[in-house]
Structure 1
Amino acid sequence: MADPSNPKPKPILQKPPGYKDPNKPLISKPPTRKAPIHPAYHQKQKRKSCCCCCCCFMFIFILLLIIIVAIAGGLFYLWFKPKLPSFQLQSLETPKFKVDVRPDGTFLDSQTVIRVQARNPNSKIGFSYGKTQVRISAVGVDGVGLGSGSLAGFEQGTRNVTVLKFSTAVKNQLIEDGAGKRLKARYQSKQLAFDVEVRTRFGLRLWGWETEKLGVRVLCEDVRMRKSTGGASPKCKINTLKCSIWRYGPTRGF
C-alpha cells in the first residue's frame, strides 16, 4: 500500500518544438552592418558612365554630321548639276618631219603643232587648271617619241571653250635604222599615225572658292595624218587620276 506521506514525483513535460517561454526576456540582436564600399569603386562606376555618355554623344554627332553632309551634297548637285570638262583633239600638224640617214646613224628632226579643245559645259561653275602637259609619239615604232610640251595654268569661265595650243620638237634624235625607214615611208604615204597624251589637273571654282585639283589624262590614239587636219575629230579616252576635296580658302575673282 502506498505511503501518503511520500508521493511520487510528477513527470516533467517536454516542451514542443518552437516553444518560447513568455517569462524569458527577449534579447534583440544588433543589426548587421554592411562592409563599407571602397571609394575607388565609385570612381570606376563614374568613369564607366562618362565613357558610355561620350560614346553615345559621338555616335549621335557623327550620324547627324553624315546626314547633314548628304543633304548638303544632294542640294548642291540638284542646284548646280556639275559636269566634268570634256576634251577633244582639234588638229595635229607636222610642219617639219625629216628622217636623215647618215653613215653614223639615222636621225630624226620633227616639229608638231597640236590643238586641243577644253570645254566647260557648266552654266554656274568654272574651272581652274594647273599645268598642262602633252606628249606625242609615233604609232608602230617603239621608242620613237616626237617631243613634249606644256602650258601654264589658266582659268575657264562658265560655258566656255578654250583651245590649247602645244608645240613639240625633236632635233637630231638618234633612232634605230629600221624604225627610221618605216617612219619615212609612212610619212611620205600620209599613213603615219600618232598617239597624243595630255595630262592636266583641274578644280571647280564657285563664289571665289576653289576645290583641290583633280588629275585628268586624255589619250588620243592612232591619229592619222590625213584625219588630223580636218574632218571628224579623233575620239579620245579620258581618265581621272585622283579624287578631289574642297580646299578652304578664297581665290581671286570668278
Structure 2
Amino acid sequence: MGDRAYAPVSKPVPVRATNGAANGGGGSGPPRPAPPSMLPGGRVPPPPMYRPKPAQSRPPPRRPPRSARGWCCVCCLWLTLVLVGLVFLCAIAAGVFYVVYRPRMPTFAVTSLRLAALNVSDSDALTSRIEFTVTARNPNDKIAFAYGDIAASFSADGGTDVGEGVVPGFLHAAGNTTVIRGAASATAATIDPVQADTLRSKKSHAMSAEMDAKVGFQIGKFKSKRISVRVICNGFSAGLAKPSPPPAPAPAPDAKPTVVVAAAPAPARSRGRGRPPRAVIRASSSSSSSGSGGGGKMTPTDAKCKVRIKIWIWSF
C-alpha cells in the first residue's frame, strides 16, 4: 500500500455566540460559555484578585427608621417610672405625716337610749319614738373633725327598722369629747307581719344603730374634702319606757320647802404635766330631751361602735 499524506490537524477556533446562536447552532438551546483563555502549557489563568474599595469611599450606614411600636415602648417605660416615683413620694409624705401628727380614728359609743314609744297596729303599721345619746371622743391632739348632718337609723330584733332621724353637724375639736343627743321616729311605717308579731311578743328588744355622715379633718387652716363615714353600734337592748307618774301636788303655804344639795363634780385631771384638761362640748339636736314626752328615764348603755370609712368603692 502506498503512503497517504494527511493535512495537519488544526484546532477548531471557538466562535462566540451571536444573537443566541453559536457554532452554527440554533436558538433553541442555551448559549455555551466561552472557554477560558489558556496559558502556555495548558494552564488556566487564576481569577482576578478582589481589591476592596478604600473606607473613605464607602457611604455612611443609614439608621433604620424607628417604628411606632418602639415609641410606644419608650412612652410606657417613662410613664411607669413616673408612676413609681409618685408612689414613692406619696409614701414618704404619708410617713412624715404619721410621725408628726399621729392620726387616730374617733371613737363612738351609745351611752343611753330610751324607747319612748313603740306601737304596732293590727294592720302591721309601726309608730315609734327613740331618744338616744351618743358620746364621740377625738383622741388626736392636733387634728379636728368636721361632721356634716348625721343620719341615724335604728333597728330592733334582727333588722326591723324602728326609727330614723337626723342630727345637725358639728365641729369636733382636737382632744375633746362631744355628747350628741338626738331622736329617731317612725310614723305608720308598714313592716313585715312576722316582724310585727315579734315586736308585739317581746318587752325588751335587741337594738342596733347606724349613723352615716360626711366627715373631713382640719389641721390649722387646712381643710380636707369630706368622705363618707358609717358608724355601726350594736350589742344593747331597750324596753318600752313606762309613763311618768303624775306631778306631785304643790306644797301647802305653811309647809317649809325642801332644799336638795347636789355634790359638785370633781375637777378633771390632766393626763400629762402642764396639759390642760380636755373640755366637754355638748351638742343637742332640735328634738326634745330625755325627760320630756312619754315619761321614763334614759337607759344607760355601753355599746361600742365601729367606724367604717368609704372611699369611692372601698370600705375600711
TM-score category, normalised to shorter length: 0.5 to 0.7
Partner SS, residue 99 of structure 2: helix
- Structural mapping, 1:1-254, within 5 Å: 32=54, 33-35=57-59, 41=63, 44=65, 65-101=86-122, 105-140=123-158, 144-176=160-192, 179-187=195-203, 191-225=204-238, 229-242=298-311
Stretches (4+) displaced over 6 A? 49-60
In 2: Cα distance, 1:182 partner to 1:202 partner:
36
Aligned 8 A contact 1:130 1:200 in 2: yes
Identify if the C-alpha distance between structure 1 residues 81 and 175 changes in structure 2 by more than 3 Å, giving closer, same or farther. closer
Q: CA deviation at 1:236?
A: 2.5
- RMSD over aligned Cα, in angstroms? 4.1
Alignment-mate amino acid for residue 138 of structure 2: N
The gaps in structure 2 that reach 5 residues or longer are: 1-40, 42-50, 240-296
In 2: Cα distance, 1:69 partner to 1:219 partner:
31
Match of 1:6 in 2: none
Partner SS, residue 196 of structure 2: helix
In 1: Cα distance, 2:195 partner to 2:73 partner:
73
In 2: Cα distance, 1:56 partner to 1:99 partner:
67
Aligned 8 A contact 1:139 1:222 in 2: no
Count how many residue pairs are aligned between Structure 1 and Structure 2: 213
- What do residues 173-195 of structure 1 show as CA deviations (whole Å, max 9, x unaligned)? 344555434323323xxx22222
Larger-Rg structure = 2
Alignment-mate amino acid for residue 87 of structure 1: F
Q: Normalising by structure 2, what TM-score?
A: 0.53
Higher strand share: 1
Alignment-mate amino acid for residue 138 of structure 1: A
In 2: Cα distance, 1:137 partner to 1:30 partner:
97
Q: CA deviation at 1:208?
A: 1.4
Partner SS, residue 180 of structure 1: helix
Identify if the C-alpha distance between structure 1 residues 56 and 199 changes in structure 2 by more than 3 Å, giving closer, same or farther. closer
The gaps in structure 1 that reach 5 residues or longer are: 1-13, 15-28, 244-254
Q: Normalising by structure 1, what TM-score?
A: 0.65
Instruction: Tell me the percent identity.
Output: 27
Higher helix share: 1
Alignment-mate amino acid for residue 83 of structure 1: R
